[in-house]
Amino acid sequence: MPMNPSVFMTDIWPALALTLKLASCTTVVLLLVAIPLAHWLNHSRSRIRPVIELLVSLPIVLPPTVIGFYLLILMSPQHVLGHAWQQLFGTPLPFSFAGLVVGSTLYSLPFAVQPIQTGFRGVDPALIESAAALGTPGWVVLRSVIMRSAWHAVMTGGMLSFAHTVGEFGVVLMLGGNIPGATRVASIALYDQVQQLNYGTANAIALVLLLISFILLALIAVVRGNGHSMQPRLPF
């Protein structure tokens, strides 16, 4: 069945736009969380560090529907997180865009933390020691030395997180359902079109998602190549 242009503009394009919005918001939140978390995991001697590292890596192997189910329970008004959210904002967290951002952030966390953590480990220790010897505060060392030297790892983590969020299905279906304009992202719209045997429209959605993924992977390759070709230096 050929694609119906009117269906694509009125139904599918909003889902694609919502997907890009979700991926952008999730990536920003992830970078704000992943950068200090990766730095802490690399340098902390706390006994709970292995446990935190394990929890961060868990979404890689855990089925998305399992993550979505437990997050759905956790976000319900009967539990602390969901109850606190509803008291603050007057609306439930599940089946909302905010709920999708929370779920996507937790689901994509290892795709941001692990590349950044690896990049931070590759920073020349002499740079960090030199900055510390000058009395530079720790957060300045992280921002001006470690992040500047490992900028390619930060960008890689951000782009991997964005790409992973674009392709989400199980978590967003469990947490958001299929509400047009609110939680109906491209992967859900693609599934719906296949269920309705609208293969032309489904193919159009799939091609857009494929193109986005291809571009992001190409950008990651370029960033990694440029990052490895540049020698880090002390930015003082």
Domain assignment of residue 206, given as a range: 5-229
Which residues are CB-neighbours of 215 under 8 A, at least 6 positions away?
none
Q: What is the pLDDT of residue 235?
A: 41
What's the token pair of residue 170? 């199980």
Asked whether residue 217 is assigned to any structural domain, the reply reads yes
Q: By the 8 A CB rule, do 93 and 102 touch?
A: yes
Number of domains forming the structure of the chain:
1
Q: What is the pLDDT of residue 223?
A: 86
Asked whether residue 95 is assigned to any structural domain, the reply reads yes
Q: How far apart are CA 171 and CA 107, in angstroms?
A: 8
What does the CA dihedral 195, 200, 204, 210 come to, rounded to 10 degrees?
Answer: 70
Asked whether residue 188 is assigned to any structural domain, the reply reads yes
Asked whether residue 234 is assigned to any structural domain, the reply reads no
Q: What is the pLDDT of residue 5?
A: 62
Q: What is the pLDDT of residue 6?
A: 61
pTM, entire model: 0.86
Asked whether residue 235 is assigned to any structural domain, the reply reads no
CATH code where residue 161 lies:
1.10.3720.10
Asked whether residue 236 is assigned to any structural domain, the reply reads no
Q: By the 8 A CB rule, do 71 and 81 touch?
A: no
In the chain (236 residues long), the average pLDDT of successive 10-residue segments reads: 59 89 96 94 91 94 92 90 88 91 94 93 82 74 83 92 92 89 91 89 90 92 71 44
Asked whether residue 44 is assigned to any structural domain, the reply reads yes
Asked whether residue 187 is assigned to any structural domain, the reply reads yes
Which residue, 152, 166, 165, 164, is CA-closest to 220?
Answer: 152
